Amino acid sequence: MIKITIKFFAKIKEDIGHNKIELLLGSPTKVSGVLEIISKDFGVDLNSRKNYLYAKNLEYCKTSELLDDNDELAIIPPVSGGCYE
C-alpha cells in the first residue's frame, strides 16, 4: 500500500468539503487516476474541469505524472479577481 496526500484550494476545496485528504492506493497511480478516484468518492467531476493546475511535491506536473508513496498532490483551480490601482 502507498499513501498520498491531496490538498485542495479555492473552489475545489469548497466542492470537496475538505482542504486535505489522504488516499491509500495499491500501487503508484497517475494523477489522472487519482482525479478519477476523488471524482467518484466525492461526486465531483474533476477530469472535465479545464485550466486546473496540479503540483506533485511542490512542483507543477501533468496529469500523466505518477504518484508514489508519501507524495503530495495539490489541485489548484483557476483563480481570478483582484484589483489593480
> Is pLDDT at 1 greater than 60 in this prediction?
yes
According to CATH, what is the number of the domain 2-76?
Answer: 3.10.20.30
pLDDT of residue 46: 85
Domain ranges of the chain: 2-76
Our CA angle for 1, 66, 55, nearest 5°, is 110
The position carrying cell 496526500 is: 5
At 28-78, the pLDDT tens digits run 999 999 999 999 999 998 877 788 999 999 999 999 999 999 999 999 988
Q: How confident is the model at residue 11 (pLDDT cuts 50, 70, 90)?
A: confident
pLDDT of residue 44: 92
What count of other Cβ atoms lies within 10 Å of the Cβ of residue 68? 14
pLDDT of residue 25: 97
